[in-house]
Amino acid sequence: MTNTDHLKALGSSATKYAFDKPDPSLLETFGNPMAAVSGRGTIKIVAPEFTSLCPITGQPDFATIVVEYRPRDLCVESKSWKLYLGSFRNHGEFHESCIATITQALIDLLDPWELLVRGEFTPRGGIPFWPEIWYKRPEEGVTLNGN
């Protein structure tokens, strides 16, 4: 059984909702229960009610956020995930930037083996945009982007 004593949002009746700025401090984790099994498990999360604002027009953008990851030691807790995605609601950011922000927050939080984040945004002007970032944890001693 996974220890959940450290979780603040899950089970709290005093949930605070913030909609104006993405806040990765809302994200919480728990130990990966699949780590005890041989092999690497995969977790897929589909959030069909993501909203943000166009930074130019202020019009709402709607998307399904799809996350697939192979956890190392930690998994993202679902209520904190919903609160984090909700923090984009009144925030102006381009589709691609939303996905980059979400991806970096999950990399920083989870340090996963692999991570895919895709935003399936509803069409704007008849054109759907589906930005996607695929991350693979570098092997020991290997750096990304030549750094």
- What positions carry a catalytic annotation? 54, 61
Contact present, 118 and 103 (Cβ < 8 Å): no
**Order of strands, sheet of 43-53, starting from the edge strand that comes earlier in the sequence:** 43-53, 60-70, 114-121, 132-136
The alpha carbon of 64 is separated from its chain's Cα centroid by a whole number of angstroms, namely 12
User: What contacts 7, CB < 8 A, 6 or more positions away?
Assistant: 28, 30, 77, 80
C-alpha to C-alpha distance for 47 and 30, rounded to whole angstroms: 19
Contact present, 86 and 17 (Cβ < 8 Å): yes
